[in-house]
Structure 1
Amino acid sequence: MAAIVLLGDINIDLVLAIPTYPGEGGEAIATGQTAMIGGSATNTAIALAKAGHDCRFIGRVGVDSWGREALSELAAAGISTRWIGHDEQEPTQINVITVSPVGERTMFAYRGANARLSAADVDPAAFADAQLFHLSGYALLQPRQTEAALAAIDLADDAGICITLDIPGGVVAGIAAQVRALLPRIDTVVLGSVDLPGLLEQPKEADEKELIEMLLASGVRRVAVKGSGGAASCLYQLGSMDSAPWFPVQVVDTIGAGDAFAAGHIHGRVTGLSAPDCCRLANAYGALAVTRKGSGQAMPDRDEVFAFLEKAENSA
């Protein structure tokens, strides 16, 4: 399988199941609690490692028990932790995530050690013989980590390594200008349709097809639009558009769904699948992710994804 370099956040998710949301200053009693490894790029790395890829993670954790736990879980998943640094000034990131009865998540985060990743932490050795470099958009939120991300993009670009960028929901306003400057260097941007106007500074009612055409004209080669809630996912390239419908599943929670979707597209990309099959595979990864609690080690593996696809085809 392919060697894949990933740069992004490593965190511990404290997930609380909340029956109702209180007003400010109120109180809610959770009906369940789980602590697990998480982070957008971390979740994608775990899914790709489960698919058999050689995943090399560039990141940073604190010198604390959460950091040790995160490194242990990453190593257990088969992910190389050689390029993960330790920060003595900031703790490992903790996310407090509430999940509603319909499975929708709300997240509160302190970025901690992640934001202190620097360009000096990006080792060219991580990119040796790599086929793809994947960057999480969270890494563009703060200056020091952004410098690390740009250094990694330079290394990948100089080596002719395919670059993918995942823009998580809710952060586009903070990173749009940087992303637009990077588009000519990116092979594939993965994002939700709701974030398209914000990325291009266009009105919310702007036509999706026109927005995609603007993105492609800016230099990015492929745009993968995440599908969910019954909507199709689409993969746009110059002169073509391919799509696949969302799979109807029972939603448990939506944590990590977009990260799994990105992993599906990446797996399809590096294994030479056609554009329609990439869309279908990405949807299958995302659909399975929402049927279980949390992310991290709960990310779907390749065998169960293909079994899911086979079952869906047989029942069609």
Structure 2
Amino acid sequence: MDTTRYDIIGIGNAIVDVLARTDDHFLDRHDMRKGAMRLIDAEAAERILGVMPPGQIASGGSVANSCAVASGLGARAAFLGKVARDELGIAFANDLRAIGVDFPHAPLPEGAPTARCLILVTPDGQRTMNTYLGACIDFDHTDLDAEAIQSSSILYLEGYLFDPPRAQHAFREAVRIARGAGRKVALSLSDAFCVDRHRAAFLDLITSGGIDILFANEAEICSLFEQNDFDGAVTEAAHTLPLAVLTRSEAGSVVVAGAERHVVAAVPVEVVDTTGAGDAYAAGFMVGLTRKVSLVESAALASRVAATAIGRIGARPDAAALSLLASETA
């Protein structure tokens, strides 16, 4: 009997995104490294928010975005993350549920406020993120929903959430639960700086057999294996992982499964905003896997989904575009 309740269940930072257009001079004035993510404290969050141009506000977080996109493609998705019992926390939960993603978490009754990510988009479409983690750092093993994890085809973990030690413990427990139920486990490395901070922990999780699918971009996979060139990192990935899905922006993606190596072209699109492109790609790829299509077909779907994200402002593709893709690939 099939006991699968969800196609994908994600665990990650529950963050409200504040996204605005700006220019390189703004980044320079505020010591921001273009295209990167940095963690900030509450004081810095208030200061940057006060000088940012007006922008859009929406629920976000890397894996939460992937779950939302997967739901838009017709997948059954759930998300586990920590929010506070405040206005942003309520907005986050309502937004995810309206999209069709189950969000069973009870909010944090007191303490830090709901996390927020201040995203600056420059004219070339690059996004620079300043993240205040807030309530996210309180995520621990008690926030896991074992029954939901056991009944999900893929457990998807967010590398950004590795910063709090309690969350690392929760990840390992979630992996144990998923593997015990015969489920697949996927991990996103999230950011090269994140890999620099947690390389040993990531490698331990991978080499211990806890990860079936790794999502990374070129910089992240090179950082993980401390390689100066992409080909060297691909070779290491082939020896270390059952499946590595590596994105290279306009150069497309490379899917590595042991001796297999598939290069899949990116879909040409005018770059408006790269925010969430990797999240959209991962969603498309995992949806392909849950539909039992080939690795190449999954990557091709992922590329089309990512293109819909890049071609508009915001971290998620347009709902109508996702619905069309879902109908084309059903």
Q: TM-score, normalised by structure 1?
A: 0.89
> Which residue does 2:248 correspond to in 1?
227
The answer to whether structure 1 residue 9 and structure 2 residue 6 are counterparts is: no
The separation in 2 between residues aligned to 1:10 and 1:51, in whole angstroms, is 21
> Residues 51-66 of structure 1: matches in 2 within 5 Å?
51-66=73-88
Q: Are residues 38 and 300 of structure 1, via their aligned partners in 2, closer, same or farther at CA, if it must alter by over 3 Å?
A: farther
Aligned length: 304
- 1:194: how far off? 1.6
Quick one: distance in 2 between partners of 1:139 and 1:222? Answer: 22
Q: Which amino acid aligns with 2:226?
A: E
Q: Please give the secondary structure, in 2, of the residue aligned with 1:21.
A: helix
Aligned partner of 1:181 in structure 2 is: 204
1:126-166 Cα shifts (integer Å, max 9, x gaps): 12422111111112122111111111111111111011111
Instruction: Tell me, in whole angstroms, the C-alpha distance in 2 between the residues paired with 1:197 and 1:227.
Output: 12
Q: Does 1:95 align with 2:100?
A: no
The verdict on how the C-alpha distance between 1:221 and 1:25 changes in structure 2, with shifts beyond 3 A counting, is closer
* Cα displacement (A) at 1:226: 1.0
Amino acid at match of 1:55: A
Q: Secondary structure at the match of 1:103?
A: coil
Distance 1:236 1:291 in 2: 27
Q: CA RMSD in A?
A: 2.3
1:285-296 matched pairs, under 5 angstroms: 285-296=305-316
What's the counterpart of residue 257 of structure 1?
277
Question: 1:121 is matched with which residue: 122, 143, 156?
Answer: 143
* Amino acid in structure 1 at the alignment position of 2:60: G
1:267 aligns with 2:271: no
Matched position secondary structure for 2:19: strand
- 1:213 deviates by 2.6
Structure-2 separation of matches of 1:156 and 1:109: 29
**Displacement of 1:30:** 5.9
Distance 1:127 1:144 in 2: 18
Residues 16-69 of structure 1: CA deviation (Å, up to 9, x unaligned): 211342343699976651111110011001011112222121110012100000
Cα deviation for residue 308 of structure 1 reads 8.6
Contact conserved, 2:308 with 2:317, CA < 8 A, in 1?
A: no
Matched, 1:216 2:216: no
Distance between the aligned counterparts of 2:319 and 2:131, measured in 1? 21
Q: Which runs of 5+ in 1 are unaligned?
A: 310-316
Q: Distance in 2 between matches of 1:297 and 1:73?
A: 15
Structure 1 residue 104: deviation in Å? 0.8
Q: Secondary structure at the match of 2:83?
A: strand
> What's 1:244 paired with?
264
Residues 296, 88 of structure 1: CA spacing in aligned structure 2 closer, same or farther, 3 A cutoff?
Answer: farther
Q: Determine if the alignment matches structure 1 residue 195 to structure 2 residue 199.
A: no
Q: 1:77 to 1:56 in 2, by over 3 A?
A: same
AA at the equivalent of 1:262: A
User: Is the contact made by 1:2 and 1:270 (CA closer than 8 Å) also made in structure 2?
Assistant: no
Label 1:213 to 1:30 Cα distance change in 2 as closer, same or farther (>3 A).
Answer: same
Identity %: 25
State the distance in 2 between where 1:297 and 1:64 align.
Answer: 27
- How far did 1:301 drift? 5.3
Aligned twin of 1:313 = none
Q: Which SS does the other structure have where 2:221 is aligned?
A: helix
SS in 2 for 1:107: strand
The 5 Å alignment of 1:24-35 reads 24=29, 32-35=54-57
Separation in 2, partners of 1:176, 1:87: 33
Q: Which amino acid aligns with 1:177?
A: A
Counterpart selection for 2:108 from 73, 86, 107? 86
Q: Verify the 8 A CA contact 1:124 1:155 in the aligned structure 2.
A: yes
**Distance (Å, rounded) in 2 between the aligned partners of 1:198 and 1:300:** 37
Distance change in 2, residues 1:152/1:10 (3 Å): same
CA distance in structure 2 between the aligned counterparts of 1:79 and 1:124, rounded to whole angstroms: 17
Q: Report the AA paired with residue 12 of structure 1.
A: V
1:307 Cα offset (Å):
7.6
Structure-2 change in CA distance of 1:25 and 1:161 (3 Å): closer
